[in-house]
Amino acid sequence: MALFNFGKKKEETSSCCGGNCDAENMARAENSKAEGASVKVLGSGCAKCNQLEAATKAALEQLGMDTTIDHVTDFSQIAAYGVMTTPALVVDGKVVSYGKVLKTEEVIKILQKVR
């Protein structure tokens, strides 16, 4: 009789959401993370997210970078990055900022540092 399950390890899931996402959304999120040389704004599409996207677009123009910006609004994809506070900025698959609206100058510094 195993009242407390001593000796048995609890199975752990490697998913960011504890395995509650469906396979299709997780595959899409993993593929989007694996893509390099990209800039993404993560957020629901609110005013702050749009401000971050505009600042990022201005920073890319000032730096002469011809990179497109993807605006990810699907919560399961956002959660796959480990982000719980939006807006967030992802450069080359790595979260570089979350939870605040960056100014254009701040985005320029981040892009110069990351690339």
Active site residues: 46, 49
Which of 46, 53, 42 has the alpha carbon at shortest distance from 87? 42
- Separation CA 106–CA 14 (nearest Å): 33
The dihedral built from the CA positions of residue 83, 44, 41 and 67, taken in this order, carries a sign that is: positive
